[in-house]
Chain A
């Protein structure tokens, strides 16, 4: 079946540090991949997405590249800010499965200190 595995948090960084949050997936078809972000007290927001192999999604300085050979979609940012503190969810949607479900990972909490 389809699944998403994320690195466990929390990830604690100093401001301006480089961020990587690992995400790997298992899918039976050809998934689209997503990163969603949840700020404290809020619902999830789409951060970026990629729909096919080698695509790079990017938004607000965050990037992730769809790597089919390693079944990965790691999230990166070159210089984090305190305002990036949030929980980050990796997710997939398998277009071979017409149920239109998003399969979410368990989330990784990021804490950025001044």
Chain B
């Protein structure tokens, strides 16, 4: 069974450009989480969805960040415009309903570098 799939694995872009990160959760999982990991701030929850509906986006740093989940098998995290301080590893995770969102399965991450 495939795990959480993220693309791209690496992204290098210039300040001001739009960046779109993609995630395919594990089939049958009802929760989807987006995290950001940096050396300075550690692992931060940005937003999470339940059954494709955004439940808590209080971790989204500012209006430049947006996330969507148009269906159960796909989610995007978009940064527009990007800034150097957005450089980080972005993780997507999914969780089955039975675990109450507690047992999360992480993707390999997207390493973003904004120049």
Contact = CB atoms under 8 A, between A and B. Distances in A.
Interface of A: 32, 34, 41-46, 49, 89, 93, 95, 99-102, 104, 106-107
Interface residues of B, number: 22
B34 interface: no
B43 A93 contact: no
Nearest to A45: B106
Please report whether the interface of chain B is mostly helix, strand, loop or mixed according to DSSP.
strand
B43 A89 contact: yes
Interface in B81-115: 91, 93, 95, 100-109
Interface string B29-66: 00100000000001101001010000110000000000
A99 B109 contact: no
Contacts of A42: 108-109
Interface of B: 4, 31, 42-43, 45, 48, 50, 55-56, 91, 93, 95, 100-109
A42 B37 CA distance: 12
30 contacts: A32-B102, A34-B102, A42-B108, A42-B109, A43-B93, A43-B106, A43-B107, A43-B109, A44-B93, A44-B104, A44-B106, A45-B106, A46-B103, A46-B104, A46-B105, A49-B103, A89-B43, A93-B102, A95-B100, A100-B31, A100-B50, A100-B55, A100-B95, A100-B100, A100-B102, A101-B56, A101-B101, A102-B45, A102-B102, A107-B43
